[in-house]
């Protein structure tokens, strides 16, 4: 959590920022001419309460991942959490995702067994 000045610093360093009270996938980003924009490219109106706020944080896609990580199962090959949409299957060792690299590892293991 940080104050507005820090949030501006983050924006200038190409980070996206948000506040915990915002909807999960909402954030500010810095547009052309250093204007503050919502993610969709609409200029944001900066309110005084936002300038005073001390709960700014960096928005990262990672953050969303983290929220779900606990209740998600990790791929036995890449060790990344498996989303329901990239779940590829399960073998004796555990579950694996649908990434090419993981499927190649799976295929190699199956070849060895033959």
Residue ranges binding Zn ion (CB under 5 A): 75, 77-78, 97, 99, 102
Q: Are strands 28-30 and 36-38 parallel, antiparallel or unpaired?
A: antiparallel
C-alpha angle 54/18/9, rounded to 5°? 70
Nearer to Zn ion, 2 or 88 (CB): 88
Nearer to Zn ion, 9 or 86 (CB): 86
Nearest approach in angstroms of CB 28 to Zn ion is 33
DSSP conformational letter for 34: G
Give least dist CB 77 to Zn ion, A.
5
> Which residue in the shown chain puts its C-beta closest to Zn ion?
75
Q: How far is the CB of 103 from Zn ion (least distance, A)?
A: 8
Closer to Zn ion by CB, 27 or 77: give it. Answer: 77
**Smaller CB distance to Zn ion: residue 50 or 80?**
80
- Enumerate long-range contacts of 10-18, CB under 8 Å, 24 or more apart: 10/56, 10/58, 11/36, 15/58, 15/59, 16/58, 16/59, 16/60, 17/56, 17/57, 17/58, 17/59, 18/56, 18/57, 18/58, 18/59
Minimum distance of Zn ion from residue 78's CB (angstroms): 3
């Amino acid at each position: 959590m940080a104050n507005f000045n820090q949030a501006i610093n983050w924006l200038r360093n190409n980070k996206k920022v948000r506040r915990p009270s915002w909807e999960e996938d909402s954030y500010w980003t810095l547009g052309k001419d250093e204007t503050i924009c919502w993610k969709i490219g609409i200029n944001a109106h900066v309110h005084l309460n936002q300038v005073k706020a001390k709960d700014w944080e960096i928005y990262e896609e990672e953050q969303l991942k983290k929220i779900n990580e606990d209740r998600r199962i990790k791929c036995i090959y890449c060790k990344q959490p498996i989303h329901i949409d990239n779940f590829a299957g399960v073998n004796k060792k555990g579950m694996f995702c649908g990434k090419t690299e993981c499927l190649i590892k799976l295929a190699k293991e199956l070849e060895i067994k033959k």
